[in-house]
Amino acid sequence: MVALRASLTAVALTAALATAAALPHSAALAQGAPAVAAPAAKLDPATENYVKESARQDRTAIDASKLVLEMSARTPVREAAKKVLDERTKAQHRLTTATTVQALGLRPDKAGDDGEAVEALRKTAPEGVDRAYLRLAIENHEATLRLQESYGRDGANDALRSHAMAAAIEIEARIGDLKRLAAELDG
């Protein structure tokens, strides 16, 4: 039984390595070349828009969360911001990985943020920063959820569609948490 399992594992690893080696960008990535070294696959406009908008929304959530971690004195708000920061950073990393593996030629990790929203949060008076952050986070997560659900349902790229469906589940749960916290603050 152990020999059979070892044999099957060896076959699976060999197949995976052979497949990876056959990909045109694998050698370049293994040698530390930037992800854009591979020729970019042809993107449909909806996929390109999805990647850019998803990355922008992640960046806004990340930047706003970092800011509220500096500005907020309330532990529950800081804990929520830390969760958002961790989850959206991981989501952005997964999106970057998916676009790199697919050789799409996009760099979601270089996307801009919604600078106006984050700047408005920065200018908020200290006593209002928690509510302002929660309002921004809920709006951002709701927009992101609509985007992820739409691409998960109708997207052309299988890897990105899978990413979108997984992200939608995580984001939906976080919206509930953020709304509960906002209700507690208003309470």
Q: Is the pLDDT of residue 55 over 70?
A: yes
pTM over 0.85: no
Mean pLDDT of the chain: 80
pLDDT of residue 29: 46
* Residue 97 scores a pLDDT above 80: yes
How deeply is 60 buried, as exposed, middle or buried, from its count of CB atoms within 10 A (0-12, 13-18, 19+)?
buried
Residues with Cβ within 8 Å of 172's Cβ and at least 6 positions away in sequence, in order, are 145
pLDDT single digits (tens) 31-43: 454 444 445 566 7
Q: For residues 149-161, give the mean pLDDT.
A: 94
**44 burial level (CB within 10 Å; 0-12, 13-18, 19+):** exposed
- The whole-angstrom separation of Cα 172 and Cα 148 is 10
Query: What pLDDT is stored for residue 117 in this prediction?
Result: 87
- Range of weakest confidence among 12-16, 104-108, 121-125, 140-144: 12-16
Question: According to the model, what pLDDT value does residue 44 have?
Answer: 86
Highest mean pLDDT among 13-17, 37-41, 115-119, 177-181: 177-181
Q: What is the pLDDT of residue 87?
A: 96
Whether residue 13 has pLDDT greater than 50:
no
- According to the 3-state scheme, what is the secondary structure of the chain? CHHHHHHHHHHHHHHHHHHHHHCCCHHHHHCCCCHHHCCCCCCCHHHHHHHHHHHHHHHHHHHHHHHHHHHCCCHHHHHHHHHHHHHHHHHHHHHHHHHHHCCCCCCHHHCCCCHHHHHHHHCCCHHHHHHHHHHHHHHHHHHHHHHHHHHHHHCCCHHHHHHHHHHHHHHHHHHHHHHHHHHHHHC
Residue-level pLDDT at 54: 92
The CATH fold of domain 34-186: Ferritin (1.20.1260)
Q: Is pLDDT above 90 for 164? A: yes
CA separation for the pair 76, 44 (Å, rounded)? 42
Q: Which amino acid is at 59?
A: R
Which amino acid does the sequence have at 169? I
Q: Cβ–Cβ contacts within 10 Å for residue 125, how many?
A: 7
| pLDDT digits 0-9 by tens, 100-136 | 877 776 666 555 556 788 899 999 998 899 999 999 9
pLDDT at 116: 87
